Structure 1
Amino acid sequence: MKKFIKHTSISRISTAMCLGLLLVASGCDEDKYLNPKPATSISGANAFDTPERVLGLVNGIYKAVKSGNFYGGNYYTYSEARGEEFINRTSNTFTAYEAWNQTLNSGSNFVAGFWAAGYGAINNANIVIKGLTDNPTVVNATLSKQYIAEAKFLRALSYFSLVTLYARPYNENKGTSPGLPLRLQAETTTANNGLKRSSVAEVYAQIIKDLDEAEADLPNSYSSNLLNTTRAHKNTAIALKTRVYLNAGNYAKVIDEAKKIVSNAAPFAATTGVNHKLQNIIEIFTTNYTSTESILSVPMTELDNVTGQSSFPYVFNANSEYNLNPNGIWGDTEWKSTDLRRTFARTASGVQFLTKYNKPSPFLDYLPIIRYSEVLLNYAEAAARTGDLTKSLELLKAVRNRSDASYVFPTSNVATQTALINTILKERRIELLGEGFRSNDLVRNLLPLPAKASSSLSAPAVEPSQANYVFPLPNVEIVSNKLLLE
Structure 2
Amino acid sequence: MRTVNKYVILALTLSSLGSSCMREKLEPVPTTALTDVTAFDTPDRILQQVNGLYASVKSGQYLGGRFIVYNEIRGEEYNNELTNGVTGLQTWNHTLGTNTNEVTNLWNAGYYAINSANVFLDGMAAKGTSIVGDELSANYTGEARFIRAMTYFDLLRLYARPYWDGNGSKDGLPLRLTGNKGPGENDLARSSVAEVFAQILADLDYAEQNLPESYSTAFTNVTRAHKNTAIALKTRVLLAMQRYADVVTEANKIVGEDLSAPTGVPHELAADITTVFKPPYTTTESILSMPFTANNLPGVQNALAHYFTPTSFATPAPGNGEYSLIATGLIANTSWSADDDRRKFIFAAPNGKSYLVKYPTGPTQTDNVPVIRYAEVLLNLAEALVRSTNSVNERAVEILNAVRQRSDEGTSFEVGDFASVDALIEAILLERRIELLGEGFRSFDLLRLGQTIPGKANVNPVSPTQSEYIWPIPAGELLNNKLATPNP
TM-score bracket for the superposition, by shorter chain length: over 0.9
Q: Does the C-alpha gap of structure 1 residues 178 and 361 become closer, same or farther in structure 2, counting only changes over 3 Å?
A: same
Q: Does the C-alpha gap of structure 1 residues 171 and 37 become closer, same or farther in structure 2, counting only changes over 3 Å?
A: closer
CA contact (8 A) 1:10 1:477 kept: no
Q: Determine which of 411, 421, 439 is the counterpart of 2:443.
A: 439
Q: Does the C-alpha gap of structure 1 residues 23 and 55 become closer, same or farther in structure 2, counting only changes over 3 Å?
A: farther
Q: Does 1:96 align with 2:88?
A: yes
5 Å-filtered alignment, 1:163-178, equals 163-178=156-171
d(CA) in 2 for partners of 1:227 and 1:7? Answer: 37
d(CA) in 2 for partners of 1:20 and 1:83? Answer: 33
What SS does the aligned partner of 1:368 have? strand
State the match for 1:276 in structure 2.
267
d(CA) in 1 for partners of 2:50 and 2:93? Answer: 38
Mind listing any 5+ residue stretches in structure 2 that lack a counterpart?
A: 310-318
State the match for 1:109 in structure 2.
101
Quote how far apart the aligned CAs of 1:17 are.
7.1
Q: Does 1:76 align with 2:80?
A: no
State the match for 1:480 in structure 2.
480
5 Å-filtered alignment, 1:138-287, equals 138-264=131-257, 266=258, 268-279=259-270, 280-287=272-279
Q: Does 1:426 align with 2:430?
A: yes
Q: Which amino acid aligns with 1:127?
A: V
Quote how far apart the aligned CAs of 1:31 are.
3.8
d(CA) in 2 for partners of 1:94 and 1:25? Answer: 25
Quote how far apart the aligned CAs of 1:105 are.
1.0
State the match for 1:321 in structure 2.
322
Quote how far apart the aligned CAs of 1:133 are.
0.6
State the match for 1:397 in structure 2.
401
d(CA) in 1 for partners of 2:31 and 2:3? Answer: 24
d(CA) in 1 for partners of 2:53 and 2:3? Answer: 16
Q: TM-score, normalised by structure 2?
A: 0.93
Q: Determine which of 302, 321, 340 is the counterpart of 2:294.
A: 302
Q: Does the C-alpha gap of structure 1 residues 23 and 344 become closer, same or farther in structure 2, counting only changes over 3 Å?
A: closer
d(CA) in 2 for partners of 1:359 and 1:170? Answer: 37
Quote how far apart the aligned CAs of 1:172 are.
1.9
d(CA) in 1 for partners of 2:29 and 2:340? Answer: 43
State the match for 2:315 in structure 1.
none
State the match for 2:46 in structure 1.
54
d(CA) in 1 for partners of 2:7 and 2:202? Answer: 27
What SS does the aligned partner of 2:191 have? coil
Q: Does the C-alpha gap of structure 1 residues 149 and 36 become closer, same or farther in structure 2, counting only changes over 3 Å?
A: closer
Q: Which amino acid aligns with 1:355?
A: V
What SS does the aligned partner of 1:346 have? strand
CA contact (8 A) 1:163 1:179 kept: yes
Q: Which amino acid aligns with 1:196?
A: A
What SS does the aligned partner of 1:460 have? coil
d(CA) in 1 for partners of 2:273 and 2:186? Answer: 45
What SS does the aligned partner of 1:464 have? coil
Quote how far apart the aligned CAs of 1:360 are.
1.4
Quote how far apart the aligned CAs of 1:111 are.
0.2
Q: Does the C-alpha gap of structure 1 residues 134 and 446 become closer, same or farther in structure 2, counting only changes over 3 Å?
A: same
State the match for 2:314 in structure 1.
none
State the match for 2:411 in structure 1.
407
Q: Which amino acid aligns with 2:355?
A: F
Quote how far apart the aligned CAs of 1:303 are.
1.3
What SS does the aligned partner of 1:282 have? helix
Instruction: Please give the root-mean-square deviation of Cα atoms over the aligned residues, in Å.
Output: 2.0
State the match for 1:331 in structure 2.
332
Quote how far apart the aligned CAs of 1:365 are.
0.6
Quote how far apart the aligned CAs of 1:19 are.
4.5
Q: Which amino acid aligns with 2:230?
A: A
What SS does the aligned partner of 2:171 have? coil
Q: Does the C-alpha gap of structure 1 residues 16 and 147 become closer, same or farther in structure 2, counting only changes over 3 Å?
A: closer
Q: Does the C-alpha gap of structure 1 residues 327 and 44 become closer, same or farther in structure 2, counting only changes over 3 Å?
A: same
Quote how far apart the aligned CAs of 1:263 are.
0.5
Q: Does the C-alpha gap of structure 1 residues 192 and 38 become closer, same or farther in structure 2, counting only changes over 3 Å?
A: closer
What SS does the aligned partner of 1:259 have? helix
d(CA) in 2 for partners of 1:180 and 1:424? Answer: 31
Identity %, equivalent residues: 46
5 Å-filtered alignment, 1:449-460, equals 449-453=453-457, 458-460=458-460
State the match for 1:350 in structure 2.
352
Quote how far apart the aligned CAs of 1:336 are.
0.4
Quote how far apart the aligned CAs of 1:288 are.
3.9
State the match for 2:363 in structure 1.
361
CA deviation vs aligned residue, 1:145-173 (integer Å, no higher than 9, x gap): 10000000000000000011100000122
Q: Which amino acid aligns with 2:247?
A: V
Q: Does the C-alpha gap of structure 1 residues 304 and 37 become closer, same or farther in structure 2, counting only changes over 3 Å?
A: farther
